[in-house]
Structure 1
Amino acid sequence: MKSKESIMKRTHIIGVICGVLFTAVVNTNISYARSKQAAEDMVPRSEYEKLKQEVEALKSQVRMLMEHESWVRQAVAQPEADKKQEAEAVAKVAEPKQDDKATAARAETASASSAPKKVSPEMGLQEGDREKEAEEAKIELDQFLRSQKVLFKKGDLQIEFSASYAQDTAEISPYKLRAKTAGAGVLFRYGLIDDLELDISVPFTFQELELDTRSSLAEDIGFARQDGSGLGDVSGSLRWGALHEEGLVPETTLSLNVKSDSGREGRGLTPILGPSNLVAFGLDPSLGTGFWNIGGSVSLVKTIDPVVLFGSLGYNAVLERNNIDPGDQIPYSLGMGFSLNDRVSFSAALNGAAIRRSKLDGRKIEGSGRDIHSLNLAVTVQVSKGLFVEPFVNFGLSEEATDLFAGVNVPYRFDQQYPLPFFK
């Protein structure tokens, strides 16, 4: 009986406790609903939704930043891991076995004695020879300046072949004279020592003179033609690179020039006493000037990247012969050039010479002074290592200058050096 009573009491107590708990839960829900309704009454629904969207967007940005930071850490850490793995692999490879050390030494010796690898097969340079590579590239790019400054070192040799054609017309009333000249030549450039260069030019010339008349006074002459060919005037120069370009100081080159009278001297248009005491003219082609020249010049080169400015001024003394002095010369030039790329360069120059009055038996001939002006345009193209092709055209700008002079130069620079034993 006692057990039943105790069970009934416990059941009653549990029921009372459950009723209390249920009442408390109901009251809590009612309070939460009332507080929520009060909050909704205090904050408008649109503002609440807007604030909710902003919070979500901020969460999204935070997640993106965290992901980006994780990716950056991995990207920075990955190269370090790769370098570590590479170092370990190299260390493993670099540790030869004890039995293979002699074989590895022999293989290294054989590799060193064989032909080395090339940095640039086209330039023919050994691996690691950066200084020589830079010098070679500089010489190649400056080929269009080879007449303005010293390019070659001790023992360097370059041979330049040339072919040209010139046409000139002159009118001496009642005659019209046409001169057509074709030439070919070879020019040797050799580096005696660093900054000292010797140039020797050997030309061959063919000239044809044509004479016709525009007046009935010269019926005995009508039309005449005469030509001649042979060796021209051999010339040479010794050039010294006195100053190298640095800062505001331009590249300065001093030259000593000599020209011989090896070409056959012609008189060109010579007066002839014809029938009835009429003065006519004969034709005598000229392959040279017939006089020796000795002179000097100074050339300046200044780089204003990507343009190179250059100019020269000289004086040539023409030696008197047979009491005839054709007049000393003051040659000059002013030009510019630039590289279109690492193989093609363009240059333009204004060339001229002021020729003083001629003398006969020590007396000056009035009106014999001349001024010669011409414009030269050239394109220098590197065909292969050491080989260049340079077409050019020259237009006469004054009456005394040749009307048209055009041709092509083909310089070839030898890869090897040929130093002279007595130049130390």
Structure 2
Amino acid sequence: MNKRIIFAGLLLSVAGSVQAQDRQVVDTVANALDTQGLLTPAGHFEIEPSFSYSQNTSNRISILGYSVLPALVVGLIQAEDSDLATLTWGLAARYGLTNRIELEMRVPWVYRHDSYTFREPGGPEVTTSTFVSNGGGLGDIEGAIRYQFNLESVPFWIGGLRVKSDTGDSPFDQELNSDGIFSDPPTGSGAWAIEPSLTLIYPSDPAVLFGSAGYTWNLEADAGRDLDGDDRANDNVDLGDSFFLGMGMGFAVNNRLSFSLGVNHRTVFISRVNGRRASGAEVLQLDSLTTGFSLALTDRTSINMNLQAGLTEDAPDVQVNFGMPISF
């Protein structure tokens, strides 16, 4: 069971929200419950408390002020420098409906500390000001279903469908101060999202190779305010959809410890307001290098750590994730 925990930890530590080692470990995992299933076994229940920290800085001449994600901001403020820190505590619950099907629900609590240093135009002199915005609350609750297509042959294929709600504080419901930024930062995106994905896992001595790809479709939402200056009381917002791709490999050090390396890419497309391109909106390229480890503490508990370092200007500078899945 320890090796099955390690195997799952490797996949989670590098693939992150999407869901290693030598052939001996893979075979042990496959035979753990007389099944080749890599998801939560049928009739088993798992909870995973988690914590993540994300830091993103920018020294652009101007950025958009409706912050939706640490790496995606939409709005209108003039800024010289921004320093965005996000802490997320989460609790996920997973249940194995069958050896092929896994159900999951995740509830996050988000705290944000945003610091902006910007210039105020006007007059022969330019005044530099700093504004700090912080606050926390319930984030966007997510539900997911995963299905393993094959149990006996390799490579293993796992399909997933994730649905993200809009339970967090919407950026469109939050009041802006005189500088055009939030006094109380939002904890959600303000829109529902649907994300299909596909993961490949290929054991190859002495490693396990894996890759994942998917598409995030953000549903349109009512802002409840005028965003583009056309005097409409309720603008329609379509946050940019995104495509993501990740790949890497994992290794088992022993029957309790494993580590992994990988790269992730996400392309975020143009956001639109009332069907037109939002002012200042652009395509974002988010690339990161990831490394992680998984340590089995007991037969039913492990600890996973994942570190992501941004490779492009739009990606978060650093993101650290910790999780402790406990199986019942």
Instruction: Place the TM-score, normalised by the shorter chain, in its bin.
Output: 0.7 to 0.9
Q: Give the distance between the partners of 2:131 and 2:98, measured in 1 at CA.
A: 52
> What CA deviation, in whole Å up to 9, does each residue of 1:143-172 have, x standing for no partner?
222553842221111111111211111224
Deviation at 1:221, TM superposition (A): 6.6
Bigger Rg over Cα: 1
- State the Cα distance separating 1:192 from its structure 2 match: 0.8
Structure 2 partner of 1:382? 296
> Does residue 1:170 correspond to 2:170, yes or no?
no
- Measured after TM superposition, the shift of residue 257 of structure 1 is 1.2
Q: Given that residues 245 and 302 in structure 1 are in contact (C-alpha distance below 8 angstroms), is that contact kept between their aligned partners in structure 2? A: no
User: Structure 2 matches for 1:153-192, cutoff 5 A?
Assistant: 153-173=41-61, 175-192=80-97
For the pair 1:302 / 2:202, whether they are aligned, the reply is: yes
Matching of residue 354 in structure 1 with residue 267 in structure 2 = yes
Aligned position for 2:312? 398
Consecutive unaligned residues in structure 2, runs of 5 or more: 13-17, 20-36, 62-78, 223-235
**Equivalence for 2:217:** 317
Of 151, 154, 159, the residue aligned with 2:39 is 151
After superposing on structure 2, the runs of 4+ consecutive aligned residues of structure 1 that deviate more than 6 Å are: 218-221, 267-272
- Cross-structure match for 2:98: 193
CA distance in 2, matches of 1:270, 1:310: 44
Output the CA distance in 2 between the equivalents of 1:256 and 1:407: 22
1:304 and 1:172 map into 2 onto residues whose CA distance is 44
1:363 and 2:273 equivalent? no
Distance in 2, Cα, partners of 1:269 & 1:400? 24
CA contact (8 A) 2:50 2:322 kept: yes
- CA shift, 1:409, in A, is 1.1
Would you tell me which structure has more strand in proportion to its own residues?
2
Of residues 240, 245, 262, the one that matches 1:327 is 240
Q: How far does residue 140 in structure 1 lie from its aligned partner after superposition?
A: 2.8
Q: Deviations over 1:371-416 (max 9, x none)?
A: 11112211100111111111221111111111111132111112xx
Q: Which amino acid aligns with 1:145?
A: L
Query: Over aligned residue pairs, what C-alpha RMSD do you find?
Result: 2.6
Distance change in 2, residues 1:267/1:220 (3 Å):
farther
| Counterpart Cα distance in 2 of 1:270 and 1:376 | 36
Report if the CA contact (8 A) 1:139-1:151 is conserved.
no
Contact 1:256–1:295 (CA under 8 A) maintained in structure 2 = yes
Report SS of the residue matched to 1:139. helix
User: Residue 265 in 1 paired to residue 131 in 2?
Assistant: no
Equivalence for 2:133: 226
Question: What is the Cα deviation at residue 212 of structure 1?
Answer: 2.2
Q: Structure 2 vs 1, CA of residues 211 and 335 (structure 1 numbering), >3 Å: closer, same or farther?
A: same
SS at match of 2:59: strand
Q: Is the 8 A contact 1:244 1:250 kept in 2?
A: no
Question: 1:242 is matched by which residue type in structure 2?
Answer: F
Match of 1:286 among 186, 192, 208: 186
Question: For residues 389 and 203 of structure 1, do their structure 2 counterparts lie closer, same or farther at Cα, with a shift above 3 Å needed?
Answer: same
Q: Contact conserved, 1:268 with 1:283, CA < 8 A, in 2?
A: no
Q: How far is the alpha carbon of 1:295 from its aligned partner?
A: 2.6
In 1: Cα distance, 2:93 partner to 2:220 partner = 28
Structure 1, gaps ≥5 residues long: 1-135, 275-279, 415-424
Q: Identify the residue that residue 210 of structure 1 maps to in structure 2.
A: 115
Matched residues, number: 271
Q: CA deviation at 1:214?
A: 6.3
Question: Which residue pairs with 2:226 in the alignment?
Answer: none
* TM-score (norm: length of structure 2): 0.75
